[in-house]
Amino acid sequence: MKILVLFAHPAYERSRVNRALVDAVKDMEGLTFHDLYEACPDFHIDVRREQEILVAHDIVVLQHPFYWYSAPAILKEWQDLVLEHGWAYGSRGTALRGKILLNATTTGGPREAYGSGGYNRFTMRHLLAPYEQTARLCGMRYLAPHVVHGSLALRTPEDAAPEGARYRRALEALRDGRVDVTAAETAEYLTDVLGG
């Protein structure tokens, strides 16, 4: 299957972890890497072009840091403009039906901070619910997120490299059809299904 990574990071040059993730997958066969800040530096989004890119792929990965319990602004702008009624959803909006969507995100806090007893009070699945509902509205299958927790503790490129390798293995498994998609739809994290 063909994978589209929609990447949104406004300070990519300062990111150790997202850089490691990008470096690990950017040259992967069957994957298109699409940096929204690079493609749309003035936030002018070519809706038709973005829709063409989406249609050409089977799996859409929204890769971004987890800022204020959401994604950077350009990803929201992209959703608002590209996922049009009559194209992405609605009675005649079937362009994305059957495709897979998931988030690949990084958090500063550790995994235990995300849960009913944790600092952030909610699980990642709860906090990412708007993306899941967007996928459902568009007839897509939403999978558990790929999350790198504790990115603040990964201080060097060498610390972050294993996370890049783990991300690549996850995307290769998705690309090659080695993921139980039904199980991944209900899991808390994609790694819970992949084992690692």
Domain extent listing, the chain: 7-151
pLDDT greater than 60 at residue 196? no
pLDDT band (50, 70, 90) for residue 11: confident
pLDDT tens digits along 49-86: 999 999 999 999 999 999 999 999 999 999 999 999 99
Identify the three-state secondary structure at position 73: helix
- pTM of the entire structure? 0.95
Identify the three-state secondary structure at position 4: strand
Mean pLDDT of the chain: 95
CB-CB contact of 6 with 75 (8 Å) = yes
State the average pLDDT over residues 128-157: 95
DSSP designation for 113 = G
Give dist(CA 155, CA 135) in Å, integer. 34
Identify the three-state secondary structure at position 91: coil
CB-CB contact of 189 with 144 (8 Å) = yes
CATH architecture entry for 7-151 = 3-Layer(aba) Sandwich (3.40)
